[in-house]
Amino acid sequence: MTKGVDEVRAEIPFLQTGIIYLDSAATTPTPRPVIDAMLEYFHEFSANVGRGLHCATKMATEAFEATREKIAKIIHAKPKEIAYTKNTTEAINIIAQGLKWRKNDKIITTILEHHSNLLPWQRLKQKGIELEVIKPLTKECLIDPATVEATIDAKTRLIAIHHVSNAVGSIQPVEEIGKIARDNGIIFLIDAAQSVGHMPVDVRKLKCDFLAAPGHKGLLGPQGTGFLYAREDRWNELEPLLVGGGIVKDVDILHHELVDPPQLFDAGTPNIPGIIGLGRACEYVAEIGIERIAKRERMLTRRILKILDIENVEVYGPRHVNRRGGVISFNVKGLNPHDVASMLDELKRIAVRSGHHCAQPTMRYLGVQGTVRASVHYFNTEDEVDKFVTTIEQIAGEFG
C-alpha cells in the first residue's frame, strides 16, 4: 500500500511546527522512519564498518552495504555501480579529479549549471583542459540537443549537464543528449541533484556514464549523504579522490594495492548512520512511489504557476509544467528577492529560498542578481501552495 500525503506529513516531525516548507530544492525535512533507522544504528550496533569480526561491526557493515542496492533500485542500476559520497559536489569532483585527462581535452557544459557542476571543470583549465559553456536558445532555459551536437569536436572528452535546473526548474533533454554522447564516444555526466527522488530516473535510458545525486533532497534522506553512479565498465577509468584506511588490499613502505570499486571510494570512516538513513530513505520514497511523487509535484507546480497571472511578478524558466520540475523561480518587480522571502516568512511562515542559488552565470544570463525560489515535494498540500500564491499576490499588490 502506498503512502498518502497525510501519512507522509504525519511522519515528518519538522512539518508539525506549522511551517509551510517550500524549499525542498535546498534540502528536505527528514521522515521519522529515516530518523529511526539512524537511531537504531546508534542504539543497537554503533560500530565501524568492515574492520572487525564482532557482531556489531558485522551488523553495521551489512546495513551500510545494503544501501547500495536500495539506491540502485531507485535509478535502475546495479549495486556495484554505486559509490557513496557526502553530496553531489563530492561526486562530481570525483569525476573531475579522477579521470585521466589529456592536455587539450574538451569538456562541454552549460551556463545553467549549479556551481558544483561548473567550478570542478573550470579548475581543470590549469591542466590545459578546454571548457566550452553553451547557452539555451530562449529564456525558457532549455538546452537544444542540436546545440550540444554542434559543439562536439574531435577533442571533446566529456559532456556534463544537469537534469533539472536548481535555479529555474527546467528539465533538460538528457536522454537525447545522452544518445548524442554515446554515438560520439563521449563520456556523459548528469547532475541529478534535482531529479532523483522527484521523478523517474533510469540510467540505462539516459545513456549516462556517470550520475551524481544527493541523499538530502528528493530522496528525503539525511544531509551529508549522496552517491555517484558509474557505469560498470567506467570504474577502471577513475582514480579515487581520497586514499587511506579501509580501501587497501596490501601496503608496504613504498607501494600499495587498493580494493576494487565501489568500495575503493570509501576511504576513512564514512558517514555510517547517514548512509544507513539514506538506504531507509530510498525505501521510503519507493513506498510512496516515484510516479506518484512526480504526478503530485506537477499538480502543485501547476497551481503555483498561477503567479504568472499576477501583475508585477516575473517567472523564469519554462511556462509549461511538463517542461519543468517542482522548482519555480520568480521576482516581484521593484522588490529585492531577499525582501520577498522575508515577507513570506514573516507574514505566513512560508519558507522559500532567495539569491543566486549557487548559479550566478544563470542569473546573469537572465539579467538579474537573484530570484525568489519556491520548490515542492510530495508532502506539500494544495492549501499550502494556494496560500503561497495568495501571499505573493498581496506582496506584489502592496509593494511591487
Q: Give the residue numbers annotated as catalytic, written as ranges.
A: 358
Residue that the C-alpha cell 557482531 belongs to: 55
Q: How many Cα atoms occupy the beta-carbon half-sphere of 209 within 13 Å?
A: 22
Task: From residue 141, give the alpha-carbon distance in Å to each of 135, 317, 324, 359.
Answer: 8, 5, 10, 13
Nearest to 110 by CA among 84, 148, 62: 148
E-assigned strand segments in the chain: 20-21, 82-85, 106-110, 130-134, 156-162, 187-191, 210-214, 226-230, 248-251, 256-258, 313-316, 327-332, 350-351, 353-355, 371-375
Please tell me whether the peptide bond between 262 and the residue prior to it is cis, using omega within 30 degrees of 0. yes
User: How big is the CA angle at 13 (ends 11 and 15), to the nearest 5 degrees?
Assistant: 95
The CB density around residue 348, as the number of other CB atoms within 10 Å, is: 16
